[in-house]
Amino acid sequence: MALDITEILFPMRAAVAAAGERIRDDFANPADVRHKGRIDLVTATDLAVEALLKEQLADILPEATFLAEETASVADMSGLTWIIDPVDGTTNFAHGFPFVCTSVALYDGPTALAGCVYAPILGQFFWAGRGLGAYCHDERIHVSGTAEPIAALVATGFPYAIRENLDEITADLRTMLAETQGIRRPGSAALDLAYVACGRVDAFYEMALNPWDVAAGALLVTEAGGTISSYRPSRPYALGDFRILASNTRLHDAMLTLLGE
């Protein structure tokens, strides 16, 4: 029996809203900030929010498995899977920088069904359902109409493995700084994608992201009329690809050219 996405979205949004309240409560005083990599942080809030989401989402779809950042437990997404980033922008969170969000998506195999990105400190809740459009709170959102790179505001991010990829990162950044209206790096890929979806930025590119970083945001972009692909090489994007480019569609070919396709 096919899922009714509209029935899933209501309790899903409630679970993500509850997670956001925990982030809001902890924001002024993040606890137990630890390193899980050279510059990759985890906090008590990451772990608590992930546990809360897994408990509430399991009640919605007991048959679904989980792919979650702090307790990743499945590699084969052959069926229904909740993909969770409890605190996207943990470094921002640990420093009191407000670009922090929770990202949750529901996939059926490789197909995105629903996604939510909630930035509680900024008071911005984005959500989308497959075939239902994309929204900020209850207002329908759409990508921008910008057609030329020189008029485009572009977001990007830098991977934790920045030393290993520094030459490529700086070469791309040099090109984008010269050929676009400006570059922004808020530090949360899920929020960057949400901002492409609502037209606040015109394009976003990054490398070395995990499925939980982009699963919800990618659906937001496509449901808002945008385009997602890999670059170098250019091909349809699949979760786990090393590079991602999201745009308002009108800019996509030009952005691929700038990125060396």
Binding residues for Mg(2+): 69, 85, 88, 213
Cross-strand pairs, 85: 103
In this structure, how many other beta carbons lie within 10 angstroms of the beta carbon of residue 171? Answer: 12
Q: Are 244 and 228 in contact (CB under 8 A)?
A: yes
Q: Record the tokens describing residue 31, joined without a space.
A: 């606890």
Binding residues, as ranges, are 69, 85, 88, 213
Q: Are 192 and 217 in contact (CB under 8 A)?
A: yes
Query: Comparing C-alpha atoms, which of 133, 104, 141 is closest to residue 19?
Result: 104
Q: Are 147 and 250 in contact (CB under 8 A)?
A: yes
Which DSSP symbol is given to 214?
H
Which DSSP symbol is given to 151?
G
Pairing label, strands 153-156, 203-207: parallel
Cα separation, 183 vs 249, in Å, equals 18
Q: Which residues contact 182 (CB under 8 A, 6 or more apart)?
A: 153, 154
- Own/partner long-range contacts of 227-234 (Cβ < 8 Å, ≥24 apart): 227/252, 229/256, 231/205, 231/255, 231/256, 231/259, 231/260, 231/261, 232/259, 232/260, 232/261, 233/261, 234/261
